[in-house]
Every structure is written in structure tokens, then in C-alpha cells.
Amino acid sequence: MSTADQKKIRVALVDDQPLVRMGLATMIGAEPDLEVVGEASDGSAALPMLRRTHPDVVLCDIRMPVLDGLGMLEQVTRDSSLQDVRVVMLTTFELDEYVFEALRLGASGFLLKDAEPVALLDAIRVVADGGSLLAPTVTKRVIEEFGSSRRAANPHPRLGDLTEREREMVAWVATGRSNAEIAAELVVSPDTVRTHVSRAMVKLHARDRAQLVVFAIESGLRV
């Protein structure tokens, strides 16, 4: 199949800075497999746009007037008509105070606004393909910052549905390691890790790997 025949990944941009949206739109529009289908300057304006355009991926600033990124994200994840829409939060700082909350609410990950263009474009493709965007350095800092203070005070209600091996894999996912890295640590195949992680996601109703990290931290799972 030629590039022209491939289905394009539909992207929506939500940011209160017009120059940021213009820069992102120009960069994304230059890629043959990506297209911008909508823009909005705040979360309130974004919601009807998202319901109208139904993008695959949304790049959304965390901090905006009227309705911020967290408020928008919460409504997106509660709307059954938008269940296939994946949201990547944009932030200025590696450990923005709202990052963990964004992951808890269902964000597929987050990116620094000064990320290299190739990293941002790759992130869109990874998330559209069902993956999650958790940069190892940022993930480790999130775990260090929030994991140490969350002592299984809010265990996931379906945690008991997991097998011992699945619980172990969820704990490893929360370390920020990839399936290949986990496999190397446990001396098993990456396919074995992938199978257990996938089953755990289904049982916990996790939207993606990013939410699995949140479940592990909140439930107190440790390796």
C-alpha cells in the first residue's frame, strides 16, 4: 500500500497560544501520514470540536483559561462517544504538578513543549497505535514523587482479579521499563511480558499503559 493510500492519523490541537498551535499544525501537516482536523484555544471550546471531528490523538496544553486540560480530559474520558480518542498532555516542566492527575484521569502520556519535533511526531504515531507516551526520565520522577507517598490507600477494585504473575508485571510496568527491559530482568520472552501486561490491562479496564502505571502506584504494587 502506498503512503497516499494509507489512512492518515487525525490530530486535534488544544492550546491557548495561537503561535504554538500554528507551529504544531505546520509541523504535523508536513507529514504524509498525519493531518490536523481541528483546533481550539481552551478545553471548553475543544469539546464540541472533538465530538465533531473525532480525532485519533489530541495534543492538549495542561494549563489553559476557561477550562484547563485536566477538565477537558476528564470530560473526554467520561464521554462514550470519545472512548477511542487518545489525549497527550503538553507541559512546560518535566514534573508539572498536574502530570500525575492527568495520567490518573486517562491521559495517554505527556510531552514537554520544547521536545524535539521528531519526538513529538513519533509520539503521535505511538499513541495512535495504542501505545502510551511515558518518557523514562519523566516516568521515574513521577514514580519517585508520587509513589513514595501513596501507600496502597486506594487499591484498584479489580486488583484481586489479577493472577500473581499479572500483578508482578503491572508492578514492573510502573518502574518505567519497556516490555523488552522487563523480559531481560525476568529472563522471559518479551511476548510473555506483553501477554501478561495485556491481560492485566483488560482486567483493570486500563485505557493504555500509562493508566496501568497509575493503577500500580495507587495500589501500592512494588517490585
Q: What is the DSSP letter of 156?
A: -
Nearest to 42, CA basis, from 84, 10, 13: 13
Domain boundaries, the chain: 9-133, 152-219
pTM for the whole structure: 0.76
The fold for domain 9-133 equals: Rossmann fold (3.40.50)
2: pLDDT confidence band, cut at 50, 70 and 90? very low
The fold for domain 152-219 equals: Arc Repressor Mutant, subunit A (1.10.10)
The DSSP line for 66-99 is: SS-HHHHHHHHHH-GGGTT-EEEEEESSTT-TTH
Q: What is the dihedral of CA 84, 199, 176, 182, to 10 degrees?
A: -140
Q: Say what angle helices 117-128 and 18-29 make with each other, to 10 degrees.
A: 70
If one compares 66 and 222, the residue with the highest pLDDT of the two is 66
User: pLDDT, tens digit, for every residue of 105-158?
Assistant: 888 888 888 888 998 999 899 888 877 776 555 666 666 666 555 544 577 788
Inter-residue contact 58 to 87 (CB < 8 Å): yes
If one compares 147 and 51, the residue with the highest pLDDT of the two is 51
